[in-house]
Amino acid sequence: MSSAPVNPYLQTLMSLVDDLQDQMPEGKYLEAMNALRDLHSGKKPPPPPFVLPAGHVRLTDAEHNEWSAMAFRRDQCRQQIPAVLLEYRRNKILRDVWESICVTDAQTPTKEELWVITREDRTPVIKRALTLMAEEQIKEYNRNKNPKAIHCPFMARNADGKWYKPNLALVDANGYDRCRWDCLCGSKNILCKNWRQHEVSDKHQTWEHGGRQVTKTKKRMMFDKVEGRGKPNIWGNHENHYVVELLGQTISWIQHYHTKYPQNRNEWTNPEIFTGKPKDWVPPELPDAVMAYRRGSVTWLSSAMPRTLPPLPLIHTSGEPDWAWHLTEEDYARFLSMTE
């Protein structure tokens, strides 16, 4: 017998059941008392029986086994897709290059099928796609780097990180036309168009006359932004060494400014090129990226187009303890029509 104290709510229910005993069939009375006993002992009631949703059809064991076999066949088909087809389907640039030179008509396979079964050397197509991929990355990179130093030698020389042309009409990558910059004198969030006012401000002039001191930590951070001497990337190279790979072929290039918040070269990052130069001297621009192509050792031969199976309808399950598998009526009719 349980020694747990009686819950007052359960005690009230038990009293009501006793009071109504004469008005209840014996089976219902026993059922109610058993339920109250289980509640008192902490026993969880059994889950309600599974009710098939409206518009659904329950699968027999044989139908569920067939559905599982069909799912297995589709998984096998996915595993047998040639690498050239996988890359073709996920790489839009590769598709565009191939489709621009591929001609089909009603009597020939699709462009995708021709890509898989072709006996021609795919190297020129892959190389062209690689070149476009690299050019796209380099263009995006150049859009985010600092303007040329000639646009504002003062900011180029004194900016701590990113700065913009001092132009009210200019908008930055986020669409704001009030572009700001940080100065090495310690001032922050200065409007780019107000660089002249900042140059003659008390804070900047005090820093100028005090020897334009910059901490070793700040110098190192600026140098890392210019040269990309950060942590190695996934290819084991430093972050300013970029590589794109496609079906065993690669294009690599060296890109200065390894972040989207670059740092101009100045007398703290590159003192050797600024020695003896006036404050308005503009250093030469860093060279544009030069792409290096590598063919690789993989030769992709003609492949067979894999079998394409229609997608299976989504199966629903009730879970434990019934494990009832069911489909909507529409999906069930489609499932019955799928003969493989």
pLDDT in tens, 86-123: 999 999 999 999 999 988 776 678 899 999 999 889 99
For the cut 60, the answer to whether the pLDDT of residue 230 exceeds it is no
Question: 38-60 burial, b if ≥16 CB within 10 A, otherwise e?
Answer: ebbeeeeeeeeebeeeeeebbbe
Q: What is the pTM of this model?
A: 0.64
Among residues 296, 293, 307, 299, the alpha carbon closest in space to that of 118 is found at 299
Q: How far apart are CA 326 and CA 54, in angstroms?
A: 11
> What is the residue-averaged pLDDT of the chain?
84
State residue 171's pLDDT score.
Answer: 55
CB-CB contact of 64 with 325 (8 Å): yes
Structure tokens at 21: 């005993």
Percentage of the residues of the chain whose pLDDT score is greater than 70: 85
Structure tokens at 267: 């007398």
Q: Is 234 exposed, middle or buried (0-12, 13-18, 19+ CB in 10 A)?
A: exposed
CB-CB contact of 142 with 130 (8 Å): no
pLDDT tens for 3-34 read 556 667 667 767 776 777 777 777 777 777 77
pLDDT band, very low/low/confident/very high, at 303 (cuts 50, 70, 90): confident
Average the pLDDT over 305-328 and give the result: 84
State residue 234's pLDDT score.
Answer: 47
State residue 236's pLDDT score.
Answer: 46
pLDDT tens for 29-74 read 777 777 777 776 666 666 677 788 899 999 998 999 999 999 888 8
